[in-house]
Amino acid sequence: MTSLVLFDNGTHRNIFLEDFGRGQAVQANQHLIVDGDQGMLLDPGGHKVYAKLLSEVLAQLGPATLQHLFFSHQDPDVVAAANGWLMSTTAMAWTPVLWTRFIPHFGLDSLVADRLQPIADEGMVLPLGTSKMLILPAHFLHSPGNCQVYDPVSRILYSGDLGGSFGTQYQEVSDFEGHIQFMLSFHQRYMTGNKALRVWAKMVRQLDIEMIVPQHGAFFRGSAMVAQFVDWCERLQCGIDLMPETYLIPK
Ligand code: FE
């Protein structure tokens, strides 16, 4: 597991954690935000990374405590180890209201189940230390109940699966046009449709964003690169936009 500090002003830190030793499982990034004496872990992933990630998170937290776990949606690469995280920390876990009754099927112990809290469809503000994280609605990108996190201190937008790329050997995108090939098929199939992207683009253009950091693959840094990515999303045809008029019966 490698960690990269994306932002640090002395009281607020954003740490990018990634694990490349995962065999068949999809590559995933994990993100830790520490503000003063409180930490927040985003999309902590499944059992394969749990033990390594827990020790890395505890080391990065230092004297701070893990206050929040954020599950952007219901996929196993996000929530499969939810029970472990709830059992080994005192954190509250937050997930879109659509998924609060499904995630317990991953095996939440009754002792910790009440620490899984719903995020309303319209999003919410979540205090972290002396800061406030914005939990933004990003529904149908890709999950029907899906949220993202905007950190106004570091000006990082944590975009979950949106912006995910696969097969790159770099952590940061330097050539947007050359990077599209690593995102395109994933977005065309997993993202629900252009309408969802247009609504999202309209929302995020109101924010001052320095970086967009997805849950898979490389991140986007700088206002020009961020704008390029948002423009690309806004124009993309995907999901039901690309559906055929009918399916063929298998034979
Ligand atoms: Fe997903």
The alpha carbon of 148 and the centre of ligand 1 are apart by a number of angstroms equal to 12
Identify whether 67 is part of a domain. Answer: yes
The alpha carbon of 10 and the centre of ligand 1 are apart by a number of angstroms equal to 33
In which residue ranges of the chain is pLDDT below 50?
Answer: none
For 6-38, the pLDDT digits (tens) are 999 999 999 999 875 556 777 889 999 999 999
Strand blocks (E) in the chain: 2-8, 12-19, 28-35, 38-42, 65-70, 92-96, 116-119, 124-128, 131-137, 147-151, 156-160, 211-214, 220-221
The alpha carbon of 74 and the centre of ligand 1 are apart by a number of angstroms equal to 7
Of the candidates 246, 245, 236, which has an alpha carbon nearest to the alpha carbon of residue 186? 236
Identify whether 247 is part of a domain. Answer: no
Identify whether 237 is part of a domain. Answer: yes
The alpha carbon of 81 and the centre of ligand 1 are apart by a number of angstroms equal to 15
Identify whether 251 is part of a domain. Answer: no
pLDDT value at residue 184: 98
The pTM of this model reads 0.95
The alpha carbon of 117 and the centre of ligand 1 are apart by a number of angstroms equal to 19
The alpha carbon of 46 and the centre of ligand 1 are apart by a number of angstroms equal to 12
CATH (domain of 34):
3.60.15.10
Q: Name the token pair of 85.
A: 């995280």
**Residue 132 belongs to domain spanning:** 2-241
Q: What are phi and psi of 4, to 5 degrees?
A: -135, 125
Q: Which residues contact residue 192 at a Cβ distance below 8 angstroms, ignoring those fewer than 6 apart?
A: 140, 141, 142, 144, 238, 239, 240
Q: How many domains does the chain have?
A: 1
